Structure 1
Amino acid sequence: MAGQPVKRGLAGVTLDYIGSKYVNAGPEQCSYTTQAVQIPMSDGAKLAADFYDPELPDDQEPSGLIMIQCCYGRGSGISFLNARVFAARGYRALFVSTRGTHGSEGTFSPGLNEASDSQDIVKWMRQQPWYTGTFATMGASYLGYSQWALLVDPPADCVAAVIPVGPHDQAFHAWGTGSFRLDRAPWSDMMSRGPEERGSFLERLSRLPGLNFLAPKELEKALEALPLEASLQEYFKDRAPWLFEYLKNPDIDGPYWSTRRQHAALERLDIPILLVGGWYDPFETQTLHQYKRLSERGVDVNLIVGPWNHVQGCGLRSIPEILDFFGQHLAKKGDYGRSRARIFVTGAEEWRSMPTWPPNTESKPMYLQDSAGLDSELPGEDASSASFVFDPRNPTPSIGGNQMSSSGRVDDSVYATRSDVLAFTSKPLPEDLEILGTPSVQLSHSSDPAFADLFLRLSEVDENGVSHNVTEMYKALDPKRDMSKPLHLDLQDCAHRFKAGKSIRLVIAGGSFPMFARSLGTEEDRVRSDKIVPQTHTITIAAGVSQLNLPVYSPA
């Protein structure tokens, strides 16, 4: 079933012109028509979609076909970035709404049906008169996850993929740290609202986690209350049943998550792929894992990582590169012409072209000092330990970093003023220090009780004492760990130049709320209990047993 093709109107022309200027897409090549279609699935459900067809001279063929699967609607804002910008440059685009969303039949169950539905979409495409034999895929975030689900069984006629800030593993995002990632609740709130409640694309963005000043106050209160699961159940009622399955399944290797983890795609795909990430994106770790594994297999993979949060990384800053990538690998008319890894180095505020990521580096240890210092010199055998208390009733706040929306490089100086945080700060550096790769921490750490979490952040402190974040990590600690042995913890990858005169700071805390469900300090389930025990954390410093290791890069 299909409607009649509709020519682009004046409003569409205007929006496309403004949008193209904003994303630096360059001049249009043509106009296009849009046709509403319904795509039958093997189980009888029909998915709603829009087919974009460029209006080209009779002697000119389209540049190729791009397939996009989206759970956020097909309105003007999101369709510009995913379909219209390409249609106006000669590409056909099929923009499909995910099962159970925005006119598509069936029930939306995140991660469950994308693999089978995407294969059905491909089968249907092959039967259409406009299908020319090959296609590429495109889409960011959940749209990227849908691509990974397709690529578990890669169709032979899929010739390229562009995946900005797209996770392949839903379990890892939800529970990979050992604590539940609370951004799943605001996302579920947005996804479970009816059409009359969803509003515009920008209004839906405002409900994403992190934009707390725009999120429903009732949901904020639900996230703060204990027990967490009961509080969320009271808020959601019968909406978003998947959220409560998430809460019931903290074991990421368990059967519930098996269909929602697409690691097999990293072992099977063998097509050119462009990955786009952001240093402040919540899926940064997954994007860099994807690049590493595909590179190891010899896949034709390119990587861009910018100083972006999740929304910025969705393609707003990389459309020129995406167009060039499709020009070479789909249209067969151009040359991508970029290095394998194009990396933005914060601090230096410059883009860097590299043959791979990360480059070779040397580890530079900096030792925690008993005066809250950080230095390359070993502290003495008599250096005093440092401690703090994490109180679940007043959890350490999430500030910037890798949250979903209120993220990025921010002033996090307040951490150094809190009694539930340790902030170890170096003296001003005598010369520039550039780090590219994975900082790590060796920490001689104990907690009382044993049930505790750790949040670590690497920050830069300027000459005025103002601190800004560089990278971070979070981990729920194993209560059965041997506390006599040091912890070895990797922070997320970063690329940063600490300029001469700046200082390096390591922040250590027992939580980051509301990014993660707080540790309650008991053996009871953190999402089902309301019992709270404050946790005393102790860091042993004597003789350099606790240290920060920096991956220092030198062109020489």
Structure 2
Amino acid sequence: MRTLRVGGLATDLCLPDGEGPHPAVLLRTPYDRRRHRAELRAWAARGFAAVGQDVRGRHASEGTWSPYRSEAADGAAALAWIRGQEWSDGRVVAVGASYAAHCALAPLLDGPVGHAPDAVIAAVPALGPGEVAREESGVERLSARAGWWLAHGDRTDSDEHALAHALRDTPDLLDRLPVSRLLPHASWPGVWAARRDDRPTVRAAAARVPLLAVGGSRDPFATDTLRLWRSWGGPARLLLGPWGHGLTAGPAPEARPEHHLDLGSLYARWARRALAGTLTGRRGAVALGGSAHWRGAEAEARASGAPAPGRAGLVPYRFGESAGLRLVRGAEFLADPERPVRSDRLDIDERAAPDRCLLASPPLPRPLDLHGEAEVRLVAAAEGRSADWAVRLVALRPDGRAEPLATGVVRSTPGHESFEQRELTVPLGYLARRLEAGLRLRVEVAGHHFPAHARNPHTGDDPVTATRLLPSRRTVRMAGSALLLPVSPRTVAIDPVQETLR
């Protein structure tokens, strides 16, 4: 392992045994390249020249750290440097997870022509500043952004426990208003200046190099991972497991031993085939959590905007029906941002005045396989100039334990304070689950999902800059409202490794 400076950026180089030239792997990260040295050695042991680099302004690299601003140009420069070395055969695979996945993609999607990698492995991709700060509906993600900024934002090093330490010292930190001044960091207000940008998806459609998109069904960026795979113009593979943001290191409760893959070995085998040009078309493997099975991702999801896997199999669970979702309480409730429904708690105080609409299904008579995009269609009214609708789907076990399955949040802006009944669709994201017989489904419809998401003040003011909060009366009409689940009639098991490599 050699440490170099390339354009002022600290760079580790690990060469394989034997004479070159070799294909190369480039991993650029803000999370300290030294943490990836074992990964670089593993790539080298498989015949790749492995390069790890601290991004500009982080850890041992020179310059100013400005998240998302320099990665296209710096990544292109690193690729050009690799291709100019005598140990390089000119072929480079860009790899990375989370922000590092953005680093892998940026030279291809945003960089100068002719400086793109030859293949990309993007795991749990944090595609851009607007994508990580907001849901697709525009609702602001609060606790995750505050945690990341405290850990990595205005600093050259990292402290993964910074948010926990801050909450220990200031328990009401995330309650403070305005959100734009919640943290003292000079760059914190700029987090909210960025909006979600469709241009990366448009540019991905023009890509011709192979892509391996890896995600977790419990990862907050699962929808972005799926969109990237669906929109990619070149050969594309999807691997979606029952994992959180840490992938196999962060398995979900529904993960089974069959879902623990050797990702390092799979990445190297895929990279060899990608560089050899043997991969074609769009394929994918999706784990069915709660079972031992993996399924193929449906071929109809060929482009951005195409029907999602399982869409044709949407089964309605209608609100207010005993065979669907029985109303427990709260067809009328008060969404009070001073006492918001918590994202970090599943218990409900049924003695208090309703703060959400609560519905429940009868026990499932048989196992239910879900594979695709779920959603809730609401007929509802809200008081206020702006209203968020947060829907949480929960599985209730016979012993009373509750397990979150999916959450969706959308924003409605009537423009005046009086009630106005509306029809709303709340996407719940991609579900790949087997639900056991005897489970009951619980649906919660609320006005907030805090602290995961910032509170809507209901005044019409920007939730990021608002300082005044008002309660909002809500009504959910049973007729016309329903939970739609992507029920799969059968599961054809596949081998995820074979599907990824063919």
Scaled to the shorter chain, the TM-score interval is 0.7 to 0.9
Correspondence list, 1:495-514, <5 A: 495-514=432-451
Q: Does the 8 A contact of 1:226 with 1:529 survive in 2?
A: yes
TM-score, normalisation: structure 2: 0.84
Deviation at 1:143, TM superposition (A): 0.4
Correspondence list, 1:329-348, <5 A: 329-330=274-275, 332=276, 340-348=283-291
Deviation at 1:243, TM superposition (A): 2.0
Which of 147, 165, 181 is the matching residue for 1:186? 147
**Amino acid corresponding to residue 326 of structure 1 in structure 2:** A
Q: Deviation string for 1:154-195 (max 9, x for gaps)?
A: 647732111100132321321343332222222122224656
Which of 76, 79, 103 is the matching residue for 2:37? 79
Gaps of 5+ in 1: 1-33, 41-45, 199-203, 401-411
| Partner in structure 1 of residue 466 of structure 2 | 529
Q: Does the 8 A contact of 2:180 with 2:465 survive in 1?
A: yes
Change (3 A) 1:100 1:480: same
**Amino acid corresponding to residue 263 of structure 1 in structure 2:** T
**Amino acid corresponding to residue 186 of structure 1 in structure 2:** G
Q: Distance in 1 between matches of 2:438 and 2:329?
A: 28
Q: Does the 8 A contact of 1:149 with 1:265 survive in 2?
A: no
| Partner in structure 2 of residue 436 of structure 1 | 371
Q: Does the 8 A contact of 2:25 with 2:51 survive in 1?
A: yes
2:205 corresponds to 1:267: yes
Change (3 A) 1:552 1:456: same
Which of 379, 383, 389 is the matching residue for 2:334? 389
Q: Distance in 2 between matches of 1:171 and 1:131?
A: 36
Change (3 A) 1:360 1:518: closer
Correspondence list, 1:4-403, <5 A: 34-40=1-7, 46-54=8-16, 56-58=17-19, 61=20, 64-75=23-34, 77-81=35-39, 83-152=40-109, 153=111, 155=114, 158-176=117-135, 177-182=137-142, 183-192=144-153, 194=155, 198=158, 204-207=159-162, 212=164, 215-218=166-169, 221-232=172-183, 236=184, 239=185, 241-247=186-192, 249=193, 251-252=195-196, 262-294=200-232, 297=233, 299-312=234-247, 318-330=263-275, 332=276, 340-354=283-297, 356=299, 358-359=309-310, 361-369=312-320, 375-376=323-324, 386-399=331-344
Change (3 A) 1:415 1:160: farther
| Partner in structure 2 of residue 540 of structure 1 | 477
**Amino acid corresponding to residue 137 of structure 1 in structure 2:** A
TM-score, normalisation: structure 1: 0.76
Structure that is richer in strand per residue = 2
Q: Does the 8 A contact of 1:384 with 1:540 survive in 2?
A: no
Q: Distance in 2 between matches of 1:310 and 1:359?
A: 24
Gaps of 5+ in 2: 251-259, 302-308, 492-502
Structure that is richer in helix per residue = 1
**Amino acid corresponding to residue 38 of structure 2 in structure 1:** F
Deviation at 1:498, TM superposition (A): 2.3
Alignment root-mean-square deviation, CA: 3.2
Q: Does the 8 A contact of 1:415 with 1:507 survive in 2?
A: no
